[in-house]
Structure 1
Amino acid sequence: MTPTAALEILTADALAPLRHGFFTRKGGASSGIFAGLNCGPGSSDMAEMVEINRARAAEALGLAPAALVTLNQVHSADVAVLEAAPPARIRADALVTATPGLALAVLTADCQPVLFADAEAGVIGAAHAGWRGTLDGVLDATLEAMERLGARRGRIAAVIGPCISQAAYEVGPEFLDRFLAEDPGLSRFFINGSGDRYRFDLPGYGLHRLRAAGVGHAEWTRHCTYGDEERFYSYRRTTHRGEADYGRLLSAIRL
């Protein structure tokens, strides 16, 4: 079996016919706590292993590694509009383009990776959407940037990939208060946890923001990063175990 064939790539019919994928950790060159397809240059994994992993992902998408574009993610609502691959990683949390031959990619390990496409207009997007970025409007900002390139909001499909599920996402009362200050109706994305804790439905909230913004189609793949260690990296699982670091999952789409 070739290294590329060993990869596990989750796809969504809603994004067809565009080439895309939510890559799991299977089929990578990294070892130890990073075992698998760790694509995060910001991790403490060996740089050459990360490069091999990213090259395998790019090959699976039919591109050279230089055409696989990722960001310096900072949990913002900032969107970068690309006409070509940048010389260095841009500080933002979403990408959009109408340029064929580029793969827009985000890195996650519990946050939402969201891939967007208006196939008819030839406009795509990718967003890293944790709770903070989603609350601050990164998904809405991605849709707006796609529209500026000629996409139509009602035609855009948006798919949320593997992320932490409500069953695994326990938060404190101050977290709930931050959401209620934005909109008291957001309480519906919280259920009671243990003691004074709550469990937050991150993908449910992401779908709410997408649908409220008027996207044509929105779905979640329904994969939980925390609960499936064989397939996914998880920041929260690593934290609970006291491990030194964690791998990053790659999600990408191309024209």
Structure 2
Amino acid sequence: MSTASNAPQWLVPDWPDLPASVGVLCTTRRGGVSPPPYDDGQGKGGLNLGTHVGDAPRCVERNRDIVRAELPAEPAWLAQVHGTAVVDAGMVDTLAGVTPAADASFTRERGVVCAILTADCLPVLLCDAAGTTVGAVHAGWRGLADGVLEQAVAAMRRAGAGELHAWLGAAIGPAKFEVGPEVLEAFLARADQNVDLVRAAFIPVAERPGKYLCNLYALARIALARVGVHRIAGGDFCTVSNSGRFYSYRRDGITGRQASLIWIR
């Protein structure tokens, strides 16, 4: 049985460069009907939007209906696989059961909603200065290391995007993301002239030799700058530290997913 719902609480991006023609909606864990461990952390229903985490399908469906009421269309949900594939959101027909394996989407069509689900990985929203092209990227460490942001930017430019701006959404913060040497090595393998910047994003944990605190936000900024995206907002959240607002896989294990969505009005 689901927990009683409460009013949804949206995360409002602090994104000064967002064009008026672009709509953005970012959910939190608050305001749905999901029971523990997918609840809001405060005894009420959680707004879990992930269909793959063990939550009752009827609860996820109701939660998606709550979010859908704020949007111009059904979001182009993806089957995220920590890869680098990018799809045209206009080609995704969620209502017909089409959920491509991809970690980024973009569109130039009005009313088409790009969507990313996260619970510690970094959601990155993109739009061009004219507000004619938008995109959403799921950037966990594997995707970041393999170039998912670069692939998304390239796809948007091929589609005709102008100068791109970015917003970094809620992810695990640099004080909570402990990783092993393989993560540092993965980023150094593609660092090129940014070796010093990449190394600076990994702080050794003194009491745990071979472990580092990893700054996903800094790594995303490096990747975006590499492909000429310099106007970047956001990047000051921590999903792990804010249990009353965000789902976090690193903190809780079994948990829900929040969404970051963007569209052209």
Alpha-carbon distance in structure 2 between the residues aligned to 1:96 and 1:70? 12
Which of 17, 20, 26 in structure 1 is aligned with 2:24? Answer: 20
Distance 1:16 1:221 in 2: 19
Q: Distance in 1 between matches of 2:55 and 2:118?
A: 15
User: 1-side partners of 2:222 and 2:208: how far apart?
Assistant: 27
Cα-Cα RMSD: 1.7
Is the Cα contact below 8 Å between 2:17 and 2:129 reproduced in 1?
no
1:214 to 217, 228, 233: 228
- Which of 83, 88, 92 is 1:81 aligned to? 88
CA deviation vs aligned residue, 1:133-152 (integer Å, no higher than 9, x gap): 01111111111111122112
The alignment partner of 2:110 has SS state of: coil
SS of structure 1 residue aligned to 2:135: strand
- Asked whether the equivalents of residues 10 and 25 of structure 2 are also in contact (C-alpha less than 8 Å), the reply is no
Q: Percent identity?
A: 37
Q: How does 1:64-213 map to 2 (within 5 A)?
A: 64=73, 67-86=74-93, 87=96, 88-120=98-130, 122-152=132-162, 155-183=163-191, 184-185=195-196, 186-193=198-205, 194-196=207-209, 197-213=211-227
Structure 1 counterpart of 2:161, one-letter code: A
Q: Which SS does the other structure have where 2:166 is aligned?
A: strand
Extract unaligned runs of 5+ from structure 1: 240-244
Cα deviation code 1:223-253 (max 9, x no counterpart): 10010000001110014xxxxx210110000
C-alpha distance in structure 2 between counterparts of 1:32 and 1:234, whole Å: 13
Match of 1:242 in 2: none
CA distance in structure 2 between the partners assigned to 1:91 and 1:31 by the alignment: 28
Gaps of at least 5 residues in structure 2 are 40-45
The match for 2:37 among 33, 36, 46 is 33
Shift in alpha-carbon separation, 1:117–1:182, aligned structure 2, 3 A: closer
The corresponding residue for 1:247 is 256
Please tell me whether the aligned partners of residues 11 and 27 of structure 2 are also in contact (alpha carbons under 8 angstroms).
yes
How far apart, CA to CA, are the structure 2 residues paired with 1:179 and 1:119? 29
Distance in 1 between residues matched to 2:7 and 2:208, nearest whole Å? 46
CA–CA separation in structure 1 for the residues paired with 2:6 and 2:99: 25
Which digits, 9 at most, give the CA deviation of each residue in 1:195-248, with x for residues without a partner? 211101011100111122101511224110010000001110014xxxxx2101
Equivalent-residue separation in structure 2 for 1:27 and 1:176 (angstroms): 37
Counterpart CA distance in 2 for 1:121 and 1:21 is: 16
* Residue aligning to 2:42: none
TM-score norm. by structure 1 comes to 0.89
TM-score, length-normalised on structure 2?
0.86
SS at match of 2:29: coil
SS across alignment from 2:170? coil
Higher helix share: 1
Give the Å deviation of 1:84.
4.3
2:89 and 2:113 in contact (8 A); partners too: no
Aligned residues: 243
Secondary structure at the counterpart of residue 123 of structure 2: strand
